Amino acid sequence: MADYQLLIDLHKNAERQGPGGNPETKLALDLLGIDKTAPLKIADIGCGTGASTLVLAEQLNAQITAVDFLPDFLEVLETRAKQKELSEKVSTLCCSMENLPFNDAEFDVIWSEGAIYNIGFEKGIKDWHRYLKPGGLLVVSEITWLTNFRPIEIQKYWEVEYPEIDLASAKFALLEEHGYSPIGYFVLPERCWLENYYQPMQARFQDFLKRNNHSENAHSIVAMETHEIELYEQYKAYYSYGVYIARKLN
């Protein structure tokens, strides 16, 4: 099994494919300041198995297009939506976030938790801008430095893993440069990383290795994920996901 398929195997039955939490999704919704009873059209880009999608569907009078390039994840989302009797609010779309088939000014809200890094923050907010209606709202979470200086080990790690990591001030400047007015920001707390993402992942490691016959590639993935967890535990004071909320200018 290729590494790519192994990663899908490790993560597809998880509630989350990255740090986050239902209260944090609801907090972002509150900061939007929208009428939750008004009919809305939303794109949730990079939805994974739909943790945020389902919260949005529960909280809003919305039609949500849930986008991911992995059909395995979308199948799980469709099952979960059906179980929660939310299927009428959620439609899935399997495609790359770089090649979205949307019309200009189609959506009231574009949402993307823990996914925009796949194409980069600047490219994502720039490319997706045209899909929002004038005055439409953008919510994205993005790996963010919490301090202006940090230990060299974690600096080098994230510069390799995601060179666009930066301070929140730099992200706000990009939003302003590309036609948005920032209206809100907060940082994901530690439990969104440990209790909601890393610890459930660690609990899946042994079954994952067993399913994949303790292959060298499977062990390499566990080692990679374990290293990332250890770095977070050591350096969590220096970085997290920042949740950025902005309005498209008319």
pLDDT in tens, 156-209: 999 999 999 999 999 999 999 999 999 999 999 999 999 999 999 999 999 999
Nearest Cα to 147, choosing from 31, 41, 235?
235
| DSSP 8-class letter at 194 | I
Give how far Cα 136 sits from Cα of 72, 141, 182, Å: 30, 17, 12
pLDDT in tens, 3-26: 779 988 999 888 899 999 999 999
- What mean pLDDT is predicted for residues 216-236? 96
pLDDT cut 70: percent of the chain above it: 99
Q: Are 41 and 108 in contact (CB under 8 A)?
A: yes
Count CB-CB contacts under 10 A for residue 150: 15
pLDDT in tens, 25-48: 999 999 999 999 999 999 999 999
